[in-house]
Amino acid sequence: MSAPTATATANDLQSRDFHMSRWRPAAAASTAVITAEGHRRLKDELDILWRVRRPEVVRALADAAAEGDRSENAEYTYRKKQLGEIDRRIRYLSKRLQDLRIIESVPTDPTAIYFGAWLRVESDDGATHDYRIVGPDETDAARGWISIDSPLARAALRKREDDEFEAELPGGRTRFVVIRVSYDGVLDER
């Protein structure tokens, strides 16, 4: 019987099911659509970052640098990190705004759920929920704005009032019934 060797072959590593790397597969690309309102908000954010926040932080960084020894200057370190965060967000917004497609029109079939729809659904426990299907860059859980890439929105697409559908949510599989669909933001009962 031969002694084990210090070097392992690729087959040995695969057979032992080694997972030493921190590499993770890239997340699925988000859908590059946005409402006109969401696009305006992102442009406003970019403008404020570029014209207001960044110059403020650059001035504060210069003042902190003028105080002397930078190695023990907490204000200088904080402002450098803050400037890096602002620059990253500016780069992201600049690239993302170019890629986004603004959807302003109501679909040809306004009785069905598509991008931009406001919908009221009833879950299998009897609770009603109001949602709006928006782009991934404008989601807001507090307002009920869900991404078109979310499991709930994907399951609801092309459904009409009184249609039933199921969605796989973090709490498990849930059944919903569409109560109302609107594209003007009004979900009042008729």
Which domain, by its residues, includes 55? Answer: 33-103
Q: What global pTM score does this model have?
A: 0.77
Question: Does the pLDDT at position 138 exceed 50?
Answer: yes
- Digit-coded pLDDT (tens) for 78-96: 999 999 999 999 999 999 9
Residue 98: exposed, middle, or buried by beta-carbon count in 10 A (0-12, 13-18, 19+)? exposed
- Given a cut of 90, is residue 12 above it in pLDDT? no
For residue 10, the model assigns a pLDDT of 46
Q: What pLDDT is attached to residue 47?
A: 97
pLDDT value, residue 123: 95
Residue closest to 100 by CA, chosen among 36, 144, 184: 36
Rg of the Cα atoms in the chain:
25
Output the DSSP codes for 53-105: IHHHHHHHHHHHHTTS-STT-HHHHHHHHHHHHHHHHHHHHHHHHHH-EEE-S
The Cβ-side half-sphere exposure at 137, using a 13 Å CA radius, reads 25
Q: Would you say residue 16 lies in a domain?
A: no
| 90 and 122 housed in the same domain | no
Count of Cβ atoms closer than 10 Å to residue 57 Cβ = 21
Percent of the chain with pLDDT over 90: 76
Same domain, 162 and 128: yes
Supply the mean pLDDT for the chain.
Answer: 88
37: left (phi over 0), alpha (psi -120 to 50) or beta: alpha
List CB contacts of 105: < 8 A, sequence separation 6 or more: none
Tell me if 78 is assigned to some domain.
Answer: yes
Please check whether residue 159 lies inside any domain of the structure. Answer: yes
Name the 3-class secondary structure at 125. Answer: coil
When comparing pLDDT for 73 and 40, which is higher? 40
CATH number where 123 lies: 3.10.50.30
Q: What pLDDT score was predicted for residue 188? A: 76
Indicate which CATH number applies to the domain containing 62: 1.10.287.180
Residue of 23 and 17 predicted with greater confidence: 23
Q: How many domains does the chain have?
A: 2
**pLDDT tens digit string along 106-135?**
999 999 999 999 999 999 999 999 999 999
CA 107 and chain centroid, separation: 24
What tokens were used for 112? 């069905």
Q: CA 177 from chain center: how many Å?
A: 26
Q: What is the pLDDT of residues 63-81, one digit of tens each?
A: 999 988 888 889 999 999 9
